[in-house]
Every structure is written in structure tokens, then in C-alpha cells.
């Protein structure tokens, strides 16, 4: 299942910088290489952040950037299947448009890019419980 994680248009990042992203920019982002982790929130130190899977593929469909994931823990799959609606937000290197991570936002936190919907996974049976508190803010 493909999950829309970003779209073309004018967006303002967490630092207040506004930028217009074109479909050509989406293709540059889709060419990102290396490990792209799925994480909670936007960790300051990505090297020390717990990963909840990773991006396995990227593609551009129309004016949207889409991802597929792999190695997502069964607990997270079960939580989303049971109704945990996690918004997502991406982190980009602004100079290279390299995708750094996809962040799962909890506790009602809204992403900077509206209209993407909650994270989507391909579901399978998962007999585990999930600690929803990891998505709450302290």
C-alpha cells in the first residue's frame, strides 16, 4: 500500500521558512538514497532515535510523494489497524531535498502539510498490544 507523505505546493517548515515545492522537487526527493527511518515525532538526534520501520520505496503520483514501508513492528501495525490515527510529517535536507525521515505525530499534533491523512500500512494479523503513551507529549 502506498502512503502519501508530501505534496507539491507552498509549505512552511518548523523553522518558519516558506518554500514552493514543485513536482520536479518531488522527483528529487523520491531519488533519496540510504536508510530512511520511520520515527516518532521529529527527533533532534536521528542516530539515537528508535526506528519503527523504514521507507522501502518512494514514488511520485501526480503532485504527491508516496512511500511504502518495511520492517514495521507488528505492535504498530495493530495499533493503527485498531484506530490509532497517526499523522505523518517528513524531514528534508533543505539544500539537497534528501528525505531524512518520516515522523509519526501523536497526541493530535498536526503536520505542517495538511490533507495527507493518517499513516497507512498494509495490515496483517498482529497479536500484540501497543503502548499508545509513546505518542503522548510530556
Copy the grid coordinates of residue 16. 518558519
Would you say residue 136 has pLDDT above 70? no
* Torsion over CA: 43, 49, 50, 51 (sign): positive
Check: pTM over 0.75? Answer yes or no: yes
Inside any domain, residue 115: yes
Angle value at C-alpha 63, between 107 and 123, nearest 5 degrees: 50
* Torsion over CA: 56, 2, 41, 137 (sign): negative
Question: For residue 78, what pLDDT band results from cuts at 50, 70 and 90?
Answer: confident
Residue 80 is predicted with a pLDDT of 82
Inside any domain, residue 31: yes
Domain extent at residue 18:
3-131
Pick from 67, 79, 94: which is nearest to 132 by CA? 79
Inside any domain, residue 15: yes
Q: How many domains does the chain have?
A: 1
Mean pLDDT along residues 95-104:
94
Inside any domain, residue 137: no
Inside any domain, residue 107: yes
Would you say residue 117 has pLDDT above 70? yes
Q: What is the pLDDT of residues 31-72, one digit of tens each?
A: 999 999 999 888 888 788 888 999 999 999 999 999 999 999
Query: Who's near 23: CB < 8 A, 6+ residues apart?
Result: 8, 60, 62, 63
Amino acid at each position: 500500500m502506498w502512503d502519501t507523505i508530501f505534496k507539491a505546493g507552498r509549505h512552511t517548515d518548523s523553522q518558519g521558512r516558506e518554500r514552493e515545492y514543485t513536482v520536479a522537487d518531488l522527483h528529487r526527493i523520491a531519488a533519496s538514497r540510504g536508510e530512511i527511518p520511520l520515527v516518532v515525532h521529529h527527533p533532534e538526534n536521528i542516530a539515537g532515535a528508535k526506528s519503527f520501520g523504514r521507507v522501502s520505496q518512494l514514488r511520485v503520483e501526480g503532485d504527491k510523494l508516496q512511500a511504502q514501508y518495511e520492517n514495521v513492528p507488528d505492535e504498530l501495525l495493530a495499533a493503527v489497524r485498531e484506530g490509532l490515527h497517526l499523522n505523518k510529517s517528513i524531514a528534508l535536507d533543505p539544500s539537497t531535498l534528501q528525505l531524512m525521515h518520516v515522523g509519526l505525530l501523536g497526541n493530535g499534533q498536526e503536520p505542517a502539510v495538511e490533507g495527507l491523512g493518517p499513516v497507512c500500512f498494509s495490515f496483517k494479523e498482529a497479536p500484540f498490544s501497543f503502548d499508545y503513551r509513546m505518542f503522548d507529549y510530556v
